[in-house]
Structure 1
Amino acid sequence: MGGLINVVTLGITGGLGAGKSTACQRLKERGAIIFDADSVAKEILLTVPEVQEQISDVFGINIKNNTNLHLGKLANIAFSNEENQTALNNIIHPRVIEAFEKKRAEIKDQDGLLVIDAPLIFESGLDSHLDHTVLIYSTYKIRIARAIRRGNLSREQILKRIELQMPEEEKRELASIVIENNGTVERLYEEIDKLYNELIG
């Protein structure tokens, strides 16, 4: 649609290895502004004393010092079970949403597309802040293979994280748009370009 008055907001989500970051990179190449929820969450953990105190109280980890080591420990604890993951999300998600709304306010009069790249759009309630939500969907087998190829997580860690995520079929029901990503990167780019053109014109 042409002649935009305000920025359009779009959430891109997908399970581990689905290809959401690749989709967001393509949208960035087309001119979209990308809000990386994971990067913002990490920055909050590293820079907000109140959050650091909450992390210390709940998980017993002091992330003010020896930061990378303790962030790794926090991730291991948070992804060990659903209770810990929920506790961490309850601390971080409200601040990520606040940061997103601040970004939206900064560019609200611009024409274009503001995309939030976030694995937990529906779980965090971010979807209620967006014009559209997109699920990048891949089969379980393909997602595991892609995640293993990255080499930064063991197979056991990958399976545990997938287990703790909302099932993809539930996300399919919640997303306003579903893009299948079981083929080549070029095919995904075609679908993303089509989406961009439909939203921006």
Structure 2
Amino acid sequence: MKKFKVAITGGIGAGKSKVSDFLMKDGFSVLKADDIAKDLMQNNSDVKKLIIQEFGEESYKDGKLNTKYLSDKIFNDEDNVDKINAIVHPIVIEKINELCEKEFSTSNLVFVEIPLLFESELQDFFDYTILVFADEGIRIKRTIERGNISEADVKKRMQFQIPDEEKKDKVDFVIENNSSIEDLENRTKLILLLLKNLSSVD
């Protein structure tokens, strides 16, 4: 049996988390790159030191990561996006690899939800890649409905993401999410079946 690390990517509001939920419901582990990054930014002293050096003491408020301050700094300046990525991404990949090795003791497939897979040039760390795709208008509507973000801010974040149309030719599987939740689950199950078959081939 082969063991595969599988990346799940897609733009903001595409439905990555829903796909992850379906996979977890089927008993598979899904690591969340954003959660790992936030944990390291909050608790790793080396990462905290580098962030403060680059973005200032305001990056942490009362000992906690000041996400609003950092978001405002990062998403208003493309250079700052590159700077935070250079600090966080290497240690995130190191942590993901460590966690994947643990998961491989009980499963042949480990999934990693990683929104900025191609923007971070991390695709080569994975055996297979899945793009969750939805039309831009649908993605904007979904993200606003989740709350605490304006349409202008959604569009601003989209500017720093490679358009999903460009990613389609770079991934192994595409899950379209312009329809119902039932349709999304069925498409996810089909991809899972294909990956299980690939894993079982010697």
Is TM more than 0.5 here? yes
Q: Look up the match of 2:3.
A: 7
Q: Look up the match of 1:104.
A: 100
Structure 1-normalised TM-score? Answer: 0.92
More divergent stretch after superposition (87-96 vs 170-179): 170-179
Q: Deviations over 1:141-175 (max 9, x none)?
A: 11111111111211111110011111112211211
Cα 1:80–1:15 shift into 2, 3 Å: same
Which residue of the other structure, out of 12, 18, 32, is the alignment partner of 1:16? Answer: 12
More divergent stretch after superposition (75-84 vs 135-144): 75-84
Q: Indicate yes or no: 2:131 matched with 1:172.
A: no
How far off is 1:67 after superposition? 4.7
Q: Indicate yes or no: 2:97 matched with 1:95.
A: no
Q: Look up the match of 1:140.
A: 136
How far off is 1:107 after superposition? 3.0
Matches within 5 A, 1:60-139: 60-67=56-63, 70-139=66-135
SS of the equivalent of 2:73 reads helix
Structure 2-normalised TM-score? Answer: 0.91
How far off is 1:126 after superposition? 2.3
Q: Indicate yes or no: 2:164 matched with 1:160.
A: no
Q: Look up the match of 2:200.
A: none
Q: Look up the match of 2:185.
A: 189
SS of the equivalent of 2:119 reads helix
Which residue of the other structure, out of 35, 38, 43, is the alignment partner of 1:39? Answer: 35
How far off is 1:82 after superposition? 1.4
Percent pairwise identity: 33
More divergent stretch after superposition (12-21 vs 108-117): 108-117
Contact 2:33 2:114 in 1 (8 A): yes
Counterpart residue identity of residue 28, structure 1: M
How far off is 1:38 after superposition? 0.4
Cα 1:69–1:113 shift into 2, 3 Å: closer
Q: Deviations over 1:80-99 (max 9, x none)?
A: 12111111111101011000
How far off is 1:65 after superposition? 4.1
Q: Deviations over 1:5-24 (max 9, x none)?
A: 24321100010100011111
SS of the equivalent of 1:80 reads coil
Contact 2:31 2:96 in 1 (8 A): yes
Structure 2: stretches of 5+ with no match in the other structure: 198-202
Provide the rounded CA distance (Å) in 1 between the counterparts of 2:107 and 2:35. 25
SS of the equivalent of 2:81 reads helix
Provide the rounded CA distance (Å) in 2 between the counterparts of 1:62 and 1:144. 30
How far off is 1:129 after superposition? 1.2
Structure 1: stretches of 5+ with no match in the other structure: none
